[in-house]
Amino acid sequence: MRHCLLQRAPSVPRTARRRLHLAPPFLLDNYTPRYLGLSSRDAAKKRSLAYAHLRNCNLCPRQCGVNRHETTGMCLIGDTAKVNVIAPHFGEEPCIQGHNGSGAVFMSGCNMRCIFCQNYDIAHQRNGMDLTPEALAEWYLKLQDVGNVHNINIVTPEHVVPQVALSILHAAELGLRLPIVYNTSSYDSLASLELMDGLVDIYLADFKLWEPSTSKRLLKADDYPQTARESIKAMHKQVGDLCFTGDGIAKVGLLVRHLVMPGREAEGAEIMRFLASEYHPDAHVGKKKRRTKASGAVEGAKGQTEPDEGDPDVRYSDINRAVTNEEVSVVRKAAMEAGLWRFCDPPKHGGFVI
């Protein structure tokens, strides 16, 4: 067979067999962070907008309307950002963490109350140190110059958007040259995303749940699905599809993550985004239920009655387990049928994938 093909080849003009190999549209030659393209006038506008938001905070869908110089709203964080950990981080997608790590800045506090939170001690208990935007900016420079990380990754920034905006503007003046990753639950307001427009390069956005009733129970926010849909659309409008340089490191665009939840694969199938490969519930999940003095009946938080599924003595027992392969498969199959194809699979050799 091979011999026949070789015999036929001379009759085909060489030029007719040549093919054009165009680089895929998501491959970049090089990249300059968006904040370096801001004019000084735009930077000044962002600064004054950031201070205005702090004086009357409606930065997220909680719409507290408080003056954060004087008091706190639902997120329990005032005008100074509280930070738990600043370090090169290797727990992100390969295209974000690369070989040197992502420069993670874990913000304490949160505007959500996910009952399975994996950073419960940081997000709910607000452990951390207070840092001004100027101090934050200096840490970004340390991550860049000493840590040699690939990006600055602000984890859970939704409730400290003004402080983060001010820190990025200051860091740009100090010499920051790395892309900014906005690592969010997607429980953002359009106003805060507008403030971040021009400052963020990569939106690393969760899309957790689809149903308002499930969101109410597990996230304590029944408007989450609608908010996430609007936020993710706004993020995509700002930065477009995820783009990489030739080394496999993401530089700009939107990357949506979906944590497949036990028994909630139908919601995952609706959401159709990236799949998570690991899940371990924390925070309130799996803890023993309290018993009321009067009736002896078991209760959830603040006296709420929880659905009687699974172990009756354990809180949220229906999601107190790892997801099964079948649950992941349902969501992945639905993603493929919906036309999605750039999946982030864990490397079989345990290393970095390009």
CB 55, min distance to ligand SF4, A: 11
Residue 74 touching ligand SF4 (CB under 6 A): yes
Sign of CA dihedral 292, 297, 301, 303: negative
Q: How far is the CB of 191 from ligand SF4 (least distance, A)?
A: 10
The interface region with ligand SF4, picked from 33-41, 56-64, 141-149, 273-281 by CB under 6 A, is 56-64
Residue in this structure with the two tokens 């208990």, named with its chain if needed: 125
Total chain residues near ligand SF4 (CB under 6 A):
13
Which residues does residue 252 pair with via DSSP β-bridges, in sequence order? 243
Q: Which pair of tokens denotes residue 112?
A: 């959500």
102 DSSP β-pair partners: 89
Residue closer to ligand SF4 by CB (options 75, 335) is 75
> CB-wise, 204 or 221, nearer to ligand SF4?
221
Q: Is 110 annotated as a binding residue?
A: yes
Give the nearer residue to ligand SF4 in terms of CB position, either 159 or 284: 159
The whole-angstrom separation of Cα 120 and Cα 244 is: 32
Q: Does 62 bind ligand SF4 (CB under 6 A)?
A: yes
Token look-up 């984890």 returns 155
> Contact at 8 Å (CB) between 203 and 188?
no
Do 71 and 78 touch, CB atoms closer than 8 A? yes
Site track for ligand SF4 across 151-180, x = CB under 6 A: --------x---------------------
State which H helix or E strand residue 244 sits in: strand 243-245
Choice from 38, 43, 64, 209 touching ligand SF4 (CB under 6 A): 64
Q: Which stretch binds ligand SF4 (CB under 6 A): 52-60, 87-95, 118-126, 267-275?
A: 52-60
Distance CA 120, CA 287 (A): 13
Question: Are the C-beta atoms of residues 53 and 45 closer than 8 Å to each other?
Answer: no
245 pairs with which residues across the strands? 28
| Binder among 43, 75, 154, 243 for ligand SF4 (CB under 6 A) | 75
Question: And the tokens for 327?
Answer: 């649950």
Closest distance of CB 52 from ligand SF4, Å? 13
Query: Between residue 103 and residue 132, which ones bind ligand SF4 under the rule CB under 6 A?
Result: 111
Instruction: Please tell me whether 117 is known to bind a ligand.
Output: yes
- The CA-atom distances, in angstroms, between 233 and each of 143, 260, 268 are 30, 21, 18
Token pair in block for residue 43: 């930077």
Contacts of 6 (CB under 8 A, 6+ apart): none
Query: Does residue number 256 form part of the binding site for ligand SF4 (CB under 6 A)?
Result: no
Q: What residues between 181 and 200 interact with ligand SF4 by CB under 6 A?
A: none
Among 44, 55, 56, 63, binds ligand SF4 (CB under 6 A): 63
63 vs 213 by CB, closer to ligand SF4: 63
Q: Give least dist CB 112 to ligand SF4, A.
A: 9
Name which of 73 and 147 has its Cβ closer to ligand SF4.
Answer: 73
Structure tokens at 264: 């909630």
Distance CA 26, CA 42 (A): 28
Residues 76-105 that bind ligand SF4 (CB under 6 A): none
Transcribe 204-227 into DSSP letters: EEE---S-HHHHHHHTS-TTHHHH
Q: Contact at 8 Å (CB) between 286 and 115?
A: no
Of 59, 205, 235, 275, the one binding ligand SF4 by CB under 6 A: 59
Binding site, annotated residues: 110, 114, 117
Binding site, annotated residues for [4Fe-4S] cluster: 110, 114, 117
Binding site for ligand SF4 (CB under 6 A): 57-60, 62-64, 66, 73-75, 111, 159
